[in-house]
Amino acid sequence: MQPQGASSFTRMIKKFIDKLLGKTSGKKPGKFGQREDVPASVHGINPKLVDQRALDVVTTLQQAGFEAYIVGGAVRDLLLGLRPKDFDVATNATPEQVKNLFRRAFIIGRRFRIVHVIYGRGREHEVIEVSTMRAYLDSADAEQVAGNERTSKGELAGMKHAVDASGRVLRDNVWGPIEQDAARRDFTINAMYYDPGTQVVVDFHHGIRDAKNRTLRMIGDAATRYREDPVRIIRAVRFGAKLSGLGFSFDAKTLAPLASSRNLLADVPQSRLFDEMLKLLQTGHALASIEQLKSTGLNTGIYPLLDVVVERGEDPFVKLALQDTDRRVSEGKPVAPSFLLACVLWADVRQGWERRLKPRGNQRPPTPFAALQDAVDEVFDARIGDVSGRGKLGTDMREIWLMQPRFDKRVGSGPFSLAEQPRFRAGFDFLRLRAQTGEADEELAHWWETFSMADDDHRQDMVDAQRKAAQPKGAGGTGKARRVKKTDADHPAAAQPEQPDQPEADPRWRSTEGEASPPAPRTAPARSYGSAFAPDSETADGDDDEGMSTPQAGDDGAAAPAKKRRRRRRKPAGGGGASGAGDSGPAPAGE
């Protein structure tokens, strides 16, 4: 039997040797956890769910002599039997080494330098994100800057590991081994590494156990991890919302400091918060994210625009938009943040629009389109600011809003040009949601849906039908005013009573040859030298003549050709004969 002192000395020697060799006890995990290689027979991942392009990236890196694994949420989804939408790869190759191995690879980021390996082109392209394994460094060992990401860009230019005064990590580009890379990740279920070649899962923090127990657990002290990167607060909500349908819930120690840490978000750049908000609403679990924010006490104070979304989450119009976004994501269809945010802020735009159109005393209100533009500008200044309101997202939102009054016009060339707009589909979907909530006419939404899918001939028929429907119907009909021509049956001249028949000839009027001249017809005045160049309007003198003419004396005393008179007969001046005398005959046409 070995003496007790000798046994204690042996254990101490063994512990000292293990420490020198960097070994950890099999019973008690070290600071960076305990590595466990889990075979396929235990984890049960179906290799057919692994994307071929992610497999190509891992294989290329391994063939070049580097370590490479599929990591993060993709491993979690594979463990749950789900097909991941995105695949991330971790390797011990530097970003420059990764870039040199692939034809289309780009190094991005400043805080965390990563590589995007791109396959395909256009909308069908896929990005495999490759990150270099990082060292786990204590914030006390990092370089400190007095300001933040916005105010200390010059200082941060040459730093690899830097924190601000609150301990938030601003730079983290120090490479390290796999166990340290796992320790610096946030949740245990996101800290597993899968080698598709050997089908082994490397687990340091019991991620497989937590996945089976449906537990969301933060690695290390939760309060410290939130302080290192406050955006983890928003990510925790997003993971909780995404996995709540599968029965996941937060570990008590992870949940406790969540709400009380929200004040740390005040130092995060607004652009980063804006991007995290969009991720929260566009991952296919927008409604669940709102419920998660409420249940964790984070319904206010994260980001002003997100506060509006949560506040209006039960509004019928906004709720329909959130449901529509979740549906499109589940169907694999693209979603645009501009559409969802346009729906969230439409109530503000509509109220401002209506307010501007109300008459204010003797002041003339602006045109509806100008009033709408002013209302849109007001909403951007109040709700969006300069984060994305002046970029493409803001432009798309404006087009969706300004398109709405144009849907009311369904005649002329307007419908054809509107249907060719790049954002027409988004604008129509917006109109469709308005119709579903009773704000717009359902017949209008149905008309535009049919018009958008019809060929050119059918479209023209639809526009013609709208034009005819807008014309007056009978005497009491209502419709758009049109110009009435003289030849139209409803012209006022066509309604005048017919004139009585004129006598065939009047002996009081004689021609120059001494023959009786019949009176000029009402509709065709006599074209003689004296009247051929004078329009009828110039001969009227305002008297109610009846269609007879008054003789005019020429220079030679002969009777000049008669001018047309209308309405009332008048006796010629100087008795019944022609006045004046002369030898030269009728006056020439030019006189």
Strands (E), 45-119: 68-71, 88-91, 105-108, 114-119
pLDDT at 189 over 60: yes
Mean pLDDT across 423-452: 95
Active-site entry in 51, 77, 164, 186: 186
H/E element holding 15? helix 4-21
- Tell me the pLDDT band of 229, cut-offs 50, 70 and 90: confident
Mean pLDDT across 121-137: 84
244-259 per-position pLDDT tens digit: 989 999 999 999 999 9
pLDDT at 194 over 90: yes
- Tell me the pLDDT band of 528, cut-offs 50, 70 and 90: very low
pLDDT at 523 over 90: no
74: nearest Cα among 242, 215, 193, 240: 193
> What is the overall mean pLDDT for the chain?
78
Q: Give the pLDDT confidence score for residue 494 in this predicted structure.
A: 57
pTM (predicted TM-score): 0.66
Active-site entry in 56, 86, 315, 348: 86
Active-site entry in 51, 77, 88, 203: 88
Q: Fill in the DSSP letter of residue 383.
A: I
Residue type, 314: E
Mean pLDDT across 55-59: 96
Active site residue 51: no
Q: Fill in the DSSP letter of residue 484.
A: P
Active site residue 86: yes
Active site residue 324: no
Least confident among 25-39, 98-112, 195-209, 247-261: 25-39
Long-range contacts formed by 34-40: CB under 8 A, 24+ apart: 34/204, 35/179, 35/202, 35/203, 35/204, 36/202, 36/203, 36/204, 37/200, 37/201, 37/202, 38/200, 38/201, 38/202, 38/203, 38/208, 39/199, 39/200, 40/199, 40/200
pLDDT at 537 over 50: no
254: nearest Cα among 269, 245, 246, 243: 243
553-585 per-position pLDDT tens digit: 444 444 455 555 555 555 555 444 444 444 444
Mean pLDDT across 494-501: 54
Write down the domain spans for the chain.
33-137+174-213, 337-467
pLDDT at 151 over 80: no
- Say whether domain 337-467 belongs to CATH 1.10.3090.10: yes
Mean pLDDT across 392-408: 92
pLDDT at 32 over 50: yes
194: nearest Cα among 302, 330, 57, 40: 40
- Tell me the pLDDT band of 276, cut-offs 50, 70 and 90: very high
**Alpha-carbon distance 513 to 585, whole Å?**
11
Long-range contacts formed by 222-225: CB under 8 A, 24+ apart: 222/253, 222/254, 222/256, 222/257, 222/258, 223/257, 223/261, 225/186
Q: Give the pLDDT confidence score for residue 550 in this predicted structure.
A: 43
Q: Give the pLDDT confidence score for residue 535 in this predicted structure.
A: 40
pLDDT at 548 over 50: no
Least confident among 333-347, 382-396, 576-590: 576-590
Q: Give the pLDDT confidence score for residue 212 in this predicted structure.
A: 92
468-490 per-position pLDDT tens digit: 988 876 544 444 555 555 666 65
CATH class held by domain 33-137+174-213: alpha beta
